[in-house]
Amino acid sequence: MNPLNILSEDELLFQQEIRKFAKTKIKPKVGEMDEKEELDSSLISDCFDMGLMGIEVSSDFGGSEGSFFMSILAIEELAKVDPSLSVFVDVQNTLVNNIFSRWGTLQQKQKFFPRLTSKEVGCFCLTEAESGSDAFALQTKARDEGDSWVLQGKKVFITNAKEASIFVVFANINLEASYKGITAFILEKGMPGLSIGKKEVKLGIRASSTCEVLLDNVKVPKTHILGELGKGYKIAIETLNEGRIGIAAQMLGLAEGAFEGALRYSQERKQFGKTIGSFQGVQFQLAKMACEIEGVKLLVYNAARLKDAGLPFTKEAAIAKYMASEVAERVASLSLEVYGGYGFIKEFPAEKFYRDVKIGKIYEGTSNLQLQTIYKHLEKWELVLA
């Protein structure tokens, strides 16, 4: 795909800048970060310095004042080299900043955006041990104590929790009201009772932190409520709809990174006196991968463009995430096979892409949930068959 056909000049320049950053600064540190299971602190600082942690945020609050589509481009380019750093940037932009942009008061934006765009990491705390796909079964409680709310509970599988200073936490102010009691709160590192629990050891995206967030009677000022009381379910749903395009972009970038490595290797590795890319069997594998990647790119970009245009995009976001995770898994597997035995060792990138890809079918809505969302948005059968 010729990017000149689908990207504006500003978007193309932005993409090229992120691509250069990924190849020159991130790539040399990918293996070490994976082994240590943590992001390099200098790269985190670089992400802030480049404006990647506040891409859509207004310049009035220190942001880059870009588009949602530009966030998607950044996530894609970073994932070509390291899906771990990609999801780090993704969560900040499509989840945390998104929530503050849409539901934060002016005072909340003035207080938190300058921090989120310059030096502080945010995280999105929804999942609990008994409420994964059934997100609205969450049991974290918030009780009213006059001038504040007090939160009690435990969140699990929280991305960026280790690095975070600002936490968007969903808790229920009335468990009897079920999802209609769910409310979004802003918590800050250092609040008594707020702590980080176990850091998970994962199959893939190992440098990305995934931790428990423990809430032991955390006192939260009433000025730290995001949106309306009892409307946290709406915030969570709508935010995740946008976040799924981010995960789709991550999977797209991962597939592209795995494919590019396999294509390059096929032109270098020789067997039977010629490169393995000279054999039709390998050529057909690479051609099929290229076709699927091209299709997913169009799906992801279309969903992002719809969002920026203010048009309905929920179904398109679900399709993009579902297809991107499916394609990325196939591409990561086939790419590893192109390397043969070398694909199975850590010296080459195929092994890591293969480990990193599996999470795409799981987080921010499993593949089955995406299919359910897609089905709900289909027209009535009689209209389809008419």
Catalytic residues: 364
> What region does 61 belong to: left with phi over 0, alpha with psi -120 to 50, or beta?
alpha
* DSSP state at residue 201: P
Number of H helices, E strands in the chain: 13, 10
Beta bridge partners of 226: 184
185, 169 Cβ separation under 8 angstroms: yes
Residue 344's alpha-carbon distances to 87, 145, 267, 337, 354, in angstroms, are: 24, 56, 19, 9, 9
User: From CA 305, how far away is CA 310, in angstroms rounded?
Assistant: 9
The residue length of the chain stands at: 386
User: From CA 74, how far away is CA 47, in angstroms rounded?
Assistant: 11
- Where does 83-176 have alpha helices with state H? 83-90, 98-103, 106-118
User: From CA 152, how far away is CA 169, in angstroms rounded?
Assistant: 11
Q: How many CA atoms lie within 13 A of 285 on its CB side?
A: 22
* DSSP state at residue 7: S
User: From CA 340, how far away is CA 57, in angstroms rounded?
Assistant: 45
Residue 121 dihedral angles phi and psi, to the nearest 5°? -95, 145
* DSSP state at residue 97: I
